[in-house]
Structure 1
Amino acid sequence: MLAVRMHRFGPPGVLVPEEVPDPVPGPGEVVVDVRAAGVHLIDTRLRSGVRGPMPALPALPTVPGREVAGIVSGRGDGTNPALYGARVAAHLGDAPGGYAARALVPAAALLPVPDELDLGAAVALVGTGRTALGILNFAPLSPADTVLIPAAAGGLGILLTQYASGAGATVVGLAGGPAKTRVVRENGAAHALDYTRPDWPARVREALGAERPVTVVVDGVGGEVAREAYGLLADGGRYLVHGWSSRGAEATGPGFVPEDEELKARSQSYERTVGPAMAAREGGPDPLGALQRRAFAEAAAGRLRPVVHRFPLREAAAAHRALEERGTVGKVVLEP
């Protein structure tokens, strides 16, 4: 079968299409014929060989990719025969293998995909959809809120924008360039502004006026954009951090964190929302699974509508390059 493998860490060019043996399912596993594999910024960090708290760097050679959607075509002992032919999606956890024509998946990790949901959209909900809902668990929204979302044209940013606007909040989405700001506006933002322009903070203030302060910032960019975004946050506001993409693959921290004294003086809160904090906030015996199921339910109800940027599987290197260079809109997906 076709798979994309990497034999060393490095730039996107280390992702090489190769023919490899088909996977053989063990007990409790199924084989999924992959129709869509999700590409995540974490994939680019792992490809680069950057060590971080999670997930751990894979042993080489490896087939990257931790999000898949497709059709069950084989099963191991202890799995339900009714799974044959089922449309499913799954997060593979710390075990990669998604950038391939077929992937091994624990049967317990499978999520059924409704017939009306495109498999590319489904894979965008597995990790990215659950993350959007998990982030907003930290700041339940109402029509009284104004939410500022940097990187609002990415796969996660679009879902955050849709969900926040659906909750009645006024959304200010930031993105790079007119094509991306148009997409942000089409997905529910009341205001969509280009954060490559140096005057974007002033334009946010002008768009909102004095009577509509920013009450929530949901930041995945970090660096100087985060600093400016925090400057727009009202007293009593909530600042949620889920990443720091502006600092590059080598970054292991946001580069900007508000001072405790200022947070206290202005009655603001600051939360890092990903990892164990997200699971603890959701609670229950299977918090990430619960978030995934909620994401699929929200999609079925039309409240989450993933935007997908598709690449052929053989062009995984180009997909990584485009993602790192901010040349994509929505969730990046590989299709064998």
Structure 2
Amino acid sequence: MRAAIVTEFGSADVIKTQDWPDPVPGAGEALIEVAVADVIFVETAIRQGHHSQYFDVKTPYVPGSSLAGTVRAVGPDVPTDWIGKTVLGRASGFGAHAELAVATGLLEVPAELNLETAIAVYGDGLTALMLEDLAPPMQGKEVLVTASAGGMGLLLVQLAHRAGAHVIAAARGQAKLDLSKAQGADVVIDYSKPAWEKLVLEATNNQGADIVFEGAGGQLGATAFTVVKDGGWFSAHGAPSGGFAAYDPDEAARRNITVKGIDDLRADTTTTTITGADVIARAVAGDLKPVVDKVYDLDHVADAHRALEQRTLLGKALIRVVRS
């Protein structure tokens, strides 16, 4: 089969489309003929060799986690009636950016969703609903969403707006601000400008934000922490700026701020009970509407990585796989 291969850790240039052995499904797995796959920012960091404490990846490997396609075979413990169905799933140990992948956690794609919408909402939607579940009720609250024009940021803006919050969206550049506004933000702020946090405070009548969904990381995330009101809630879930938002735990304790991090969003450590089925149900109901900016083919996975790293996307990127 053909696959995008991370040949070594490094820049996007290390991704090459090559022939790769067909995978074989093991116990609890299914073999999927991939039609379309997700691509998210954390995959660019893994490709560079980061986050080894969370992801046990050795080169060469096939990137990509969430996928949609047709079940062609199943391993032990998987009912054979899955064969032939169009499904969503999570590639076992990555591997989605290929013509064939082994996957677990299968969900049949409902007729109400096309494949691109289903896969676009599947991964980011799970994290967004986990954050919604972990956060306090948002109705009537001041909610700040940073990195608001990314795939997950836009879903969080939608969820906060639907919950009845006063939504403040922070992103970089007018196009991203306009998109955030269109998805339900009440106030938009360009955080590439100096002292942007003062604009957040002004938007909250100098009270600060009750809830902050922090998806930018780095210094932007550290600045976002300063605008959480005493007794507020803060999630440090994004790291596109090079690391998760830094904050002083003693200050958080002193100000009675609840902080949630990446461990609260991992399937093996989270306290939430959100499932992929919940995500698809909310998408069918219209609560989650992913925004897809660009769809790349298998030969241009590297370009998708570059677009994520250069922050040029308005919403999501996907990988369309056409079997040769």
Shift of 1:21: 4.2
CA contact (8 A) 2:44 2:305 kept: yes
CA deviation vs aligned residue, 1:160-201 (integer Å, no higher than 9, x gap): 111111111111111111111111111111112211121422
Aligned pair in 2 of structure 1 residues 77, 292: CA closer, same or farther (>3 Å)? closer
Query: Which stretch shifts more, 160-169 or 219-228?
Result: 219-228
Aligned pair in 2 of structure 1 residues 278, 101: CA closer, same or farther (>3 Å)? closer
SS at match of 2:140: coil
Partner residue in 2 for 1:61: 60
Shift of 1:234: 1.5
CA contact (8 A) 1:134 1:282 kept: no
CA deviation vs aligned residue, 1:113-153 (integer Å, no higher than 9, x gap): 11221222222333211111112222132322111111011
1:319 aligns with 2:304: yes
Q: Give unmatched runs, 5+ long, in structure 1.
A: none
CA distance in 1 between counterparts of 2:154 and 2:88 reads: 20
Kindly report which structure 2 residues correspond to 1:77-156, keeping only aligned pairs within 5 A, or say none: 78-93=77-92, 95-106=93-104, 109-156=105-152
Number of equivalent positions: 320
Partner residue in 1 for 2:221: 226
CA distance in 1 between counterparts of 2:234 and 2:264 reads: 17
Query: Which stretch shifts more, 39-48 or 313-322?
Result: 39-48
Partner residue in 1 for 2:236: 241
Counterpart AA for 2:215: G
TM score, norm. by length of structure 1: 0.87
1:307 aligns with 2:302: no
CA distance in 1 between counterparts of 2:248 and 2:267 reads: 20
Shift of 1:156: 1.1
CA contact (8 A) 1:35 1:120 kept: no
Q: CA RMSD in A?
A: 2.2
Q: State, as a whole percentage, how many aligned pairs show the same letter.
A: 34
Partner residue in 2 for 1:40: 40
CA distance in 1 between counterparts of 2:267 and 2:2 reads: 35
CA distance in 2 between counterparts of 1:225 and 1:281 reads: 25
Aligned pair in 2 of structure 1 residues 280, 47: CA closer, same or farther (>3 Å)? closer
Query: Which stretch shifts more, 190-199 or 200-209?
Result: 200-209
CA distance in 2 between counterparts of 1:101 and 1:37 reads: 10
1:295 aligns with 2:279: yes
Partner residue in 1 for 2:186: 190
Partner residue in 2 for 1:268: 257
Q: Give unmatched runs, 5+ long, in structure 2.
A: none
CA distance in 1 between counterparts of 2:106 and 2:96 reads: 14
Counterpart AA for 2:30: V
Aligned pair in 2 of structure 1 residues 237, 28: CA closer, same or farther (>3 Å)? closer
CA distance in 2 between counterparts of 1:131 and 1:151 reads: 14
CA distance in 2 between counterparts of 1:221 and 1:276 reads: 16
Aligned pair in 2 of structure 1 residues 273, 21: CA closer, same or farther (>3 Å)? closer
Aligned pair in 2 of structure 1 residues 25, 280: CA closer, same or farther (>3 Å)? closer
Aligned pair in 2 of structure 1 residues 282, 178: CA closer, same or farther (>3 Å)? same
CA distance in 1 between counterparts of 2:41 and 2:182 reads: 24
CA distance in 2 between counterparts of 1:298 and 1:102 reads: 28
Shift of 1:275: 5.0
Kindly report which structure 2 residues correspond to 1:164-179, keeping only aligned pairs within 5 A, or say none: 164-179=160-175
